[in-house]
Structure 1
Amino acid sequence: MNILIAPDSYKDALPASDAAEAIAEGIRRAIPDASTILCPMGDGGEGTLDALLVATGAEGRETRVQDALGRPRIAAWGWHPETRTAYVELAEASGLQQLAQKERTALHSTTFGVGELIREALNAGAERLLLTLGGSATNDAGAGMLSALGARLLDSQGRDLPPGGAALSELAELDLSGLDPRLRTLEIEAAVDVDNPLLGHRGASAVFGPQKGATADDVATLDAALGHFADLAATALGEDHRDLPGAGAAGGMGFAARAFLGATLRPGIELVMEQVDFRHRLAGVDLVITGEGQLDGQSLAGKTPIGIARAAKAQGVPCVVLAGRLGQEWQAAYAEGVTAAFTLADGPMSLDDALSRCGELLVDRAENIVRLFTAHA
């Protein structure tokens, strides 16, 4: 029996590589001689870099950058010298998971560290960049990133704006003359795991701001500030990208990547599947097991399990999802190729218990699923 194991990370619990190992252990308990293909995945969120490094054989490198609050941090990135390709994960520099709950401030967090990683990739000689945009602690529409890459954002007195999205309400001049010229020839693909626009009720601030510490008043402040930024950007660039699907990803980083860096925005799971040659890996497979922390109706917008299920469905392979939680409207996943979905919990438990036992629960659930699958076969 050939089983392809392709989970995303389980947020706050296990990276995708460890999750894949746990699922494989459960399979071996049920079928000791099963053939397992481990293929850790990601859709652009935190942990996607690890999946890309495993899949491509790229070198893992580290660079000292600023985190979302301007503090020093060592951030990982990937370098593939043969193809001159750099892999940069926003969450490594400006990730939400690096901040304690009380530290989260959507008003003032910055993407400056992401710009530092891109600059390091340019220094290495990058000709192509794959930038993943999930898991951000920021809502500054990429303003910090632009500053790190040489742009200047000035107030009416000619002073540089302080970090954060709220400060963009005071933006009077957007000076792009110092933007690193090497960006003009850098081919950039940005992996996004949402299709939200920059502004409005589905925009970056309204939908994702609250999880980054924004109150209702903060959301209104940020949406207005990002709208002002988009107005000046449209004037400076001669084109307006605020309504582009994915522009609202990572607190507006999708907007900045497209508008200022000329990036192509693509669903993250599609980009990662392309990098790992996922459809080739499906050949001859009897079952696919995937999963992540939560499966719900929003997963259809581009989350890993749905991308995996769609690919499996196209080749007639059953696909099982192991989720930490099944949220509202998760049943919509059936139409996308999900054969069955299971939660990990084996009884009532606290979130802390669920997180600490994630690996153990994955092992048990995978064993049970494969026992059932083989009994049916």
Structure 2
Amino acid sequence: MKVVIAIDSLKGSLSSIEAGKAIKEGILRAINAEVVIKPLADGGEGTTEAFVEGFGGEYISVDVTGPLGKPVKATYGYLKESKTAIMEMAAASGITLVDPREKNPMKATSYGVGEMIKDAIKKGCRQFILGIGGSATNDGGIGMLAALGFEFLDSKGKAVSYDGEGLAHITSIKTDKVLKELRECKFKIACDVNNPLYGPNGATYVFGPQKGVTNEMKEILDNGMKNYAKVTKLFMKNDYAKEPGAGAAGGLGFACISYLNATLEPGISLILDAINLENDLKDADYVITGEGRLDYQTSMGKAPIGVAKLAKKYNCKVIALAGSVTKDAIKCNEEGIDAYFSILTQVVSLKEAMDKEIARSNIIQTTEQIFKLIKTIKEK
């Protein structure tokens, strides 16, 4: 029997790999099996951790410019053998780095993201996986690009401010100072939104308010995005303003596809491809997946459903484990999960349930009982 484990982290409790190892222990207590553990994330929070732990990488911390100009320490994952960097843009320019009382989308910059990329390039990275959720910025990604050597100039030939306010003043772009190594780099962007760069469904109008964009700012910033797109089309000879995902992360999606020749992919699809899960599923009998809370939202395409759909391609039986399970999680059965179980073995407080050792013990015990049942059925 072959069992593949690809479970998302139980946030605040067990990482993807920690949960995977606990599940493996439970399986082997019950039955003799070949067990493969794969790191799992959805391209958002926890992606860096999953890859570093899953592939024996290391964490790199670097001082960068925060969203409002103050220094912050950003951490990314580094896989030396494959020269791959795993990054979350929120580590450098995330909304959680800004005091809610100080939100300023006119001045917020993605410059720190570019500094993080530049650091990885210097360390030899040429493959990049970048999650772009949770941004504090609405600068179209010009901050990130400026850190990589792109120059955005006004009508007087002076550099504009690399923030939302600067977008409206761009009249020309210079590329002679761009890092030469960028040509050797490949960027895959985990992006789960389909919004264009500007307009009523664009970055400013849809995502701006949560970053502090007021009604008075909307038209100013959106017009700035239009100008930025117009000048980009003129100087870069491409036109991606209406591309699905261009409006992600305050326009960072647009910057990535227009200037870095990046591809935007749904987070879970990108991750499943990166961990080469499909290859391990081809001869697997069972797949164990899950996350901290299994509910209706899970069924809408979160990481466990991505695993389940891929597993069904090879007729694998799919079992999901979770810390908590809601009534509407039954929708997950329709999306490829054959059965799901809560790992809780008794009524405890949330704090106790999320305790690392308690969660580990619970997941081992639950898995052991599931596979004892499977063993009994197989022996009949």
Query: Is the structural similarity TM-score above 0.5?
Result: yes
Against the structure 1 CA distance between its residues 124 and 284, is the aligned structure 2 distance closer, same or farther, given a 3 Å change threshold? same
The whole-number CA distance in structure 2 between the counterparts of 1:358 and 1:205 is 40
2:250 aligned with 1:251:
yes
Residue type at the aligned position of 1:197? P
Partner residue in 2 for 1:140: 139
2:354 aligned with 1:357:
yes
The whole-number CA distance in structure 1 between the counterparts of 2:176 and 2:332 is 47
2:137 aligned with 1:120:
no
Aligned-residue Cα RMSD (Å) equals 3.8
Against the structure 1 CA distance between its residues 49 and 241, is the aligned structure 2 distance closer, same or farther, given a 3 Å change threshold? same
Q: Deviations over 1:62-105 (max 9, x none)?
A: 22212222222222233334333333332222223334443444
The whole-number CA distance in structure 2 between the counterparts of 1:100 and 1:255 is 26
Partner residue in 2 for 1:43: 42
Partner residue in 1 for 2:72: 73
The whole-number CA distance in structure 1 between the counterparts of 2:342 and 2:215 is 32
Q: Secondary structure at the match of 1:42?
A: coil
Structure 1: 5+ residue runs without aligned partners? none
Q: How many residues align?
A: 369
More divergent stretch after superposition (2-11 vs 239-248):
2-11
The whole-number CA distance in structure 1 between the counterparts of 2:308 and 2:278 is 11
Mapped contact 2:146–2:162 kept (Cα < 8 A):
no
Partner residue in 2 for 1:102: 101
Question: Deviation of residue 166 (structure 1)?
Answer: 3.8
Against the structure 1 CA distance between its residues 166 and 117, is the aligned structure 2 distance closer, same or farther, given a 3 Å change threshold? same
Mapped contact 1:8–1:15 kept (Cα < 8 A):
no
Against the structure 1 CA distance between its residues 89 and 200, is the aligned structure 2 distance closer, same or farther, given a 3 Å change threshold? same
The whole-number CA distance in structure 2 between the counterparts of 1:243 and 1:325 is 39
Question: Deviation of residue 145 (structure 1)?
Answer: 0.4
Residue type at the aligned position of 1:165? G
TM-score (norm 1): 0.79
Question: Deviation of residue 129 (structure 1)?
Answer: 2.7
Residue type at the aligned position of 1:303? K
Mapped contact 2:30–2:372 kept (Cα < 8 A):
no
Q: Secondary structure at the match of 1:65?
A: strand
Mapped contact 2:26–2:366 kept (Cα < 8 A):
no
Structure 2: 5+ residue runs without aligned partners? none
More divergent stretch after superposition (363-372 vs 91-100):
363-372
Q: Secondary structure at the match of 1:318?
A: strand
TM-score (norm 2): 0.79
More divergent stretch after superposition (290-299 vs 38-47):
290-299
Against the structure 1 CA distance between its residues 273 and 9, is the aligned structure 2 distance closer, same or farther, given a 3 Å change threshold? same
Residue type at the aligned position of 1:180? L
Mapped contact 1:290–1:308 kept (Cα < 8 A):
no
Question: Deviation of residue 221 (structure 1)?
Answer: 4.0
Residue type at the aligned position of 2:260? L
The whole-number CA distance in structure 1 between the counterparts of 2:214 and 2:364 is 40
Q: Deviations over 1:173-211 (max 9, x none)?
A: 333332223212322222323333323344333333333
Against the structure 1 CA distance between its residues 38 and 170, is the aligned structure 2 distance closer, same or farther, given a 3 Å change threshold? same
The whole-number CA distance in structure 1 between the counterparts of 2:320 and 2:171 is 52
Partner residue in 2 for 1:176: 175
The whole-number CA distance in structure 1 between the counterparts of 2:299 and 2:168 is 33
The whole-number CA distance in structure 2 between the counterparts of 1:57 and 1:127 is 18
Residue type at the aligned position of 1:170? H
Mapped contact 1:7–1:292 kept (Cα < 8 A):
no
Q: How does 1:213-362 map to 2 (within 5 A)?
A: 213-282=212-281, 283-291=283-291, 296=296, 300=300, 303-316=302-315, 317-320=317-320, 322=322, 333-339=332-338, 357=354
Q: Secondary structure at the match of 1:209?
A: helix
More divergent stretch after superposition (51-60 vs 27-36):
27-36
Q: Deviations over 1:26-48 (max 9, x none)?
A: 88679844666543312221221
Q: Deviations over 1:300-322 (max 9, x none)?
A: 4x632232121122222224263
The whole-number CA distance in structure 1 between the counterparts of 2:311 and 2:108 is 39
Partner residue in 2 for 1:21: 18
Residue type at the aligned position of 2:239? D
Mapped contact 1:9–1:293 kept (Cα < 8 A):
no
More divergent stretch after superposition (35-44 vs 110-119):
35-44
Mapped contact 1:199–1:227 kept (Cα < 8 A):
yes
Partner residue in 1 for 2:154: 155
Against the structure 1 CA distance between its residues 332 and 121, is the aligned structure 2 distance closer, same or farther, given a 3 Å change threshold? same
The whole-number CA distance in structure 1 between the counterparts of 2:70 and 2:48 is 22
Against the structure 1 CA distance between its residues 220 and 58, is the aligned structure 2 distance closer, same or farther, given a 3 Å change threshold? same
The whole-number CA distance in structure 2 between the counterparts of 1:315 and 1:371 is 25
